[in-house]
Amino acid sequence: MSVFDLGARLMRQLPAEIAHNATLTLANALAPLMPAASPDDARLAVTAFGLDFPNPVGLAAGFDKEARVPDAMGKFGFGFVECGTVTPRPQAGNPQPRLFRLTQDQAVINRMGFNNGGMDVAAANLKARTGRGIVGINIGANKDSTDRIADYATCFERLSPLADYVTVNVSSPNTPGLRGLQGKDELTRLLASMVEVRNRHAFKPLLLKIAPDLDASAMDEIADVVRASGIEGLIVSNTTIARPALASKHAGETGGLSGKPLFAPSTTVLREMRSRLGDSVTLVGAGGIASGEDAYAKIRAGATLVQLYSALVFQGPGLVTRIKRELLACLARDGFANVTAAIGK
Residues marked as catalytic: 172
Phi and psi torsions of 342, nearest 5°: -95, -10
E strand or H helix that includes residue 267: helix 263-277
Please state whether 175 falls in left (phi above 0), alpha (psi between -120 and 50) or beta.
beta
Q: Which residues contact 67 (CB under 8 A, 6 or more apart)?
A: 83, 84, 86, 122, 125, 126, 129, 135, 137
Dihedral in degrees, nearest 10, Cα atoms 258, 260, 266, 268 = -160
Q: Which segments within the chain are labelled E, that is strand? A: 46-48, 51-53, 57-59, 80-86, 99-102, 107-110, 134-139, 165-169, 206-210, 233-236, 256-259, 282-286, 305-308
